[in-house]
A and B are shown apart, each in its own frame.
Chain A
Amino acid sequence: MSAYLPQTEDDLRAMLETIGVPSLEALFEDVPQACRYPEVKLPKALSEMEILSELYRMAQNNSTTGCFATFLGAGAYNHFVPSAVPYLAGRGEFLTAYTPYQPEVSQGTLQAIFEYQSMVAELTGMEVVNASHYDGATSMAEAAIMSYNAARGKRGKVLVSPSVHPQYRQVLRTYLPGGQLQISGDEDLKAGLEDLVEMLDGDTACLIVQNPDFFGQLLEVEGLADAVHAAGALLVVVANPVHSLGLLKPPGAYGADIVVAEGQPLGAGLNFGGPYLGVFAATMKNVRKMPGRLVGETVDTEGKRGYVLTLSPREQHIRREKATSNICTNQGLIALMAGMYLAYMGKQGMRAVAELCYQRAHYAAKEIDRLEKYKVLGNRPFFNEFAVRCPLPVAELNEKLLEAGILGGYDLADDYPDRENQMLVCVTEMNDRKQIDHLVETLAEIG
């Protein structure tokens, strides 16, 4: 018997005897003969050396963002990941640690989460941050449920701006418990902030906006929180791209009650779409309605610093049937990487990256706008993404860009039918001037 199968002939016989079956063949009798031991047509076995060389050859067919000048954003962002982050996060103590079910023996994990929470609190300008969710979209859906619970289930309407990421709005609709909550605000894809404020009423649990919005535009946030609060609702801000917080006034400073974001840009890389990181921050006023884990710092009986899972009755231990959310897991490893990234970058580093993104995006927008057949759209200030009206469908344009080694922007017509031929271009610190000039020249040639 193969060394990889742990049962001996004696084990098998004992097991078969116990269940009263004479043989293995008899055990599988109910499986049709033809399916029982189908012939698997595999090539002959290879040596380790041969198989590695074969896998390497296959891997060469993959492309990564490193192979292209990448101008694609729209929720997932191509930022530099300092080597220190994967190196440190790859240490066995961190990489193999599972969720801290027994907090007193998981002090390292808890400290890492606590530091992540503390830095995200500074970044968002909020008082309390949880240990994270799966991704930005699920964070946003949890924010809607939390708003409903903060209103003690008395307000059944969630208002969401049409300029919130379309996939986030889809997740919101799949995630919310059926029937309890009504989602509106984005029926008219052209509804602006003023229209949404008009829709606030005594039944509104929260207003969800994205800032910068999906098209990269900064919202006029002055007075927004006041209007939302006057209606007795909560203001939920999706702070994407999260690097914008390195430069802009944090949502906590303009009255947001809940701030969510996609944390992937903070040291996690694009990872072919996942795992990502759901950032979730709130005010102390509503801390007991907050979903997810929360790590707190305290002292033990000897006065030594220690970390605990705090306020856990909210979620699973005592009152689980009353919990706002039964999501108790978190993106531990990705939150750890975000914590390492933020610690590594520091306040100045975050600002420097944000400034680079801003300046390079503005340079790109200026150069593209100069082209005869292209027009940069939008009348608000922007951070590092902007919409461009192109002379041909974006899908066609992107095919041509790819031939020139450029990964083009997001096709806005996919989600906004009136935005035909509009491309959402994203520029980060990874796009140097040479790349931008190459994009502009190629666009000019295609147009």
Chain B
Amino acid sequence: MKIDQDARYSDEHEWVRAEGDLFVYGISDFAQDQLSDIVYLEPPEVGDVFEKGDAIGVVESVKAAADLYLPIGGEIVEVNEALVDAPEVMNSDPYGEAWIVKFKASDAGEFEGLMSAGDYQKYAEEAHE
């Protein structure tokens, strides 16, 4: 199981990384592994504003469909449209090319409230067992 040490994590197996004034968001390696082959992504739209914990979109694999939850409230400023055409990239490069959205946090302090890479590693390992 790969963990991006620069990112922080939600208990729904999503990662968030700080990038300048913005935050980048995607699903973890553990999440993509559990979902198996991902075939569909429905992202939000630029300009959408969400509260912490809101469902912002859907990811669908050959065996499941799951909502995407934004662990920090904010406004979507960029959507990875290339990922909509090639959702399978979420399986191969979940922390890199498969970022889903970039957003502007309404309270950047919430970032610190997410799990650290180390804590998430333990959390995901427990979930795996």
Q: Which residues of A contact B (CB under 8 A)?
A: 152, 288, 313, 318-319, 322
The reply on B40 being an interface residue by CB < 8 A is yes
A58 to B60, CA, bound (A): 58
> What 0/1 pattern do residues 78 to 106 of B give for CB contact below 8 A with A?
00000000000000000000000000000
Instruction: Enumerate the 9 nearest inter-chain pairs by beta-carbon distance, A residue then B residue, closest first.
Output: A313-B65, A318-B65, A319-B65, A313-B60, A318-B64, A288-B40, A288-B42, A152-B45, A322-B67
> What 0/1 pattern do residues 32 to 76 of B give for CB contact below 8 A with A?
000000001010010000000000001010001101000000000
A152's nearest neighbour on chain B, judged by CB, is B45
A319 to B58, CA, bound (A): 10
B65's nearest neighbour on chain A, judged by CB, is A313
A154's nearest neighbour on chain B, judged by CB, is B45
Question: Which residues of the other chain, A, contact B40 by a CB distance below 8 angstroms?
Answer: 288
14 contacts between A and B (CB under 8 A): A152-B45, A288-B40, A288-B42, A288-B60, A313-B60, A313-B64, A313-B65, A318-B64, A318-B65, A319-B58, A319-B65, A319-B67, A322-B58, A322-B67
Q: Which residues of B contact A (CB under 8 A)?
A: 40, 42, 45, 58, 60, 64-65, 67
Question: Which residues of the other chain, B, contact A318 by a CB distance below 8 angstroms?
Answer: 64-65
A289's nearest neighbour on chain B, judged by CB, is B42
Question: Which residues of the other chain, B, contact A288 by a CB distance below 8 angstroms?
Answer: 40, 42, 60
A192 to B71, CA, bound (A): 49
A426 to B61, CA, bound (A): 49
A152 to B65, CA, bound (A): 17
Residue among B42, B60, B65, B67 facing the most chain A CB atoms (10 A cut-off) = B65
A368 to B124, CA, bound (A): 79
**A131 → B minimal CB distance (Å):** 20
A322 to B45, CA, bound (A): 18
**A152-B45, A288-B42, A313-B60 known, 7 other contacts, Cβ within 8 Å:** A288-B40, A313-B65, A318-B64, A319-B58, A319-B65, A322-B58, A322-B67
**B111 → A minimal CB distance (Å):** 27
Question: Which residues of the other chain, A, contact B64 by a CB distance below 8 angstroms?
Answer: 313, 318
Question: Which residues of the other chain, B, contact A313 by a CB distance below 8 angstroms?
Answer: 60, 64-65
**B109 → A minimal CB distance (Å):** 29
**A203 → B minimal CB distance (Å):** 16
A311's nearest neighbour on chain B, judged by CB, is B60
Question: Which residues of the other chain, B, contact A152 by a CB distance below 8 angstroms?
Answer: 45
**A308 → B minimal CB distance (Å):** 12
Question: Which residues of the other chain, B, contact A319 by a CB distance below 8 angstroms?
Answer: 58, 65, 67
A322 to B65, CA, bound (A): 11
A317's nearest neighbour on chain B, judged by CB, is B65
**A322 → B minimal CB distance (Å):** 8
Question: Which residues of the other chain, A, contact B60 by a CB distance below 8 angstroms?
Answer: 288, 313
Residue among A288, A313, A322 facing the most chain B CB atoms (10 A cut-off) = A313
A106 to B65, CA, bound (A): 24
**A314 → B minimal CB distance (Å):** 8
Question: Which residues of the other chain, A, contact B67 by a CB distance below 8 angstroms?
Answer: 319, 322
Question: Which residues of the other chain, A, contact B65 by a CB distance below 8 angstroms?
Answer: 313, 318-319
Question: Which residues of the other chain, A, contact B45 by a CB distance below 8 angstroms?
Answer: 152
A318 to B35, CA, bound (A): 13
**B68 → A minimal CB distance (Å):** 12
A287's nearest neighbour on chain B, judged by CB, is B40
A322 to B56, CA, bound (A): 13
**B41 → A minimal CB distance (Å):** 11
B57's nearest neighbour on chain A, judged by CB, is A152
A319 to B45, CA, bound (A): 21
A152 to B43, CA, bound (A): 11
B42's nearest neighbour on chain A, judged by CB, is A288
**B101 → A minimal CB distance (Å):** 15
A291 to B30, CA, bound (A): 32
**B61 → A minimal CB distance (Å):** 10
Question: Which residues of the other chain, B, contact A322 by a CB distance below 8 angstroms?
Answer: 58, 67
A30 to B30, CA, bound (A): 64
**B64 → A minimal CB distance (Å):** 7
**A432 → B minimal CB distance (Å):** 53
**A233 → B minimal CB distance (Å):** 16
A313 to B59, CA, bound (A): 11
**B30 → A minimal CB distance (Å):** 20
**B117 → A minimal CB distance (Å):** 30
A288 to B45, CA, bound (A): 17
**B1 → A minimal CB distance (Å):** 25
A402 to B42, CA, bound (A): 58
A152 to B60, CA, bound (A): 17
A219 to B76, CA, bound (A): 41
A313 to B42, CA, bound (A): 14
**B46 → A minimal CB distance (Å):** 13
**A160 → B minimal CB distance (Å):** 26
**B43 → A minimal CB distance (Å):** 11
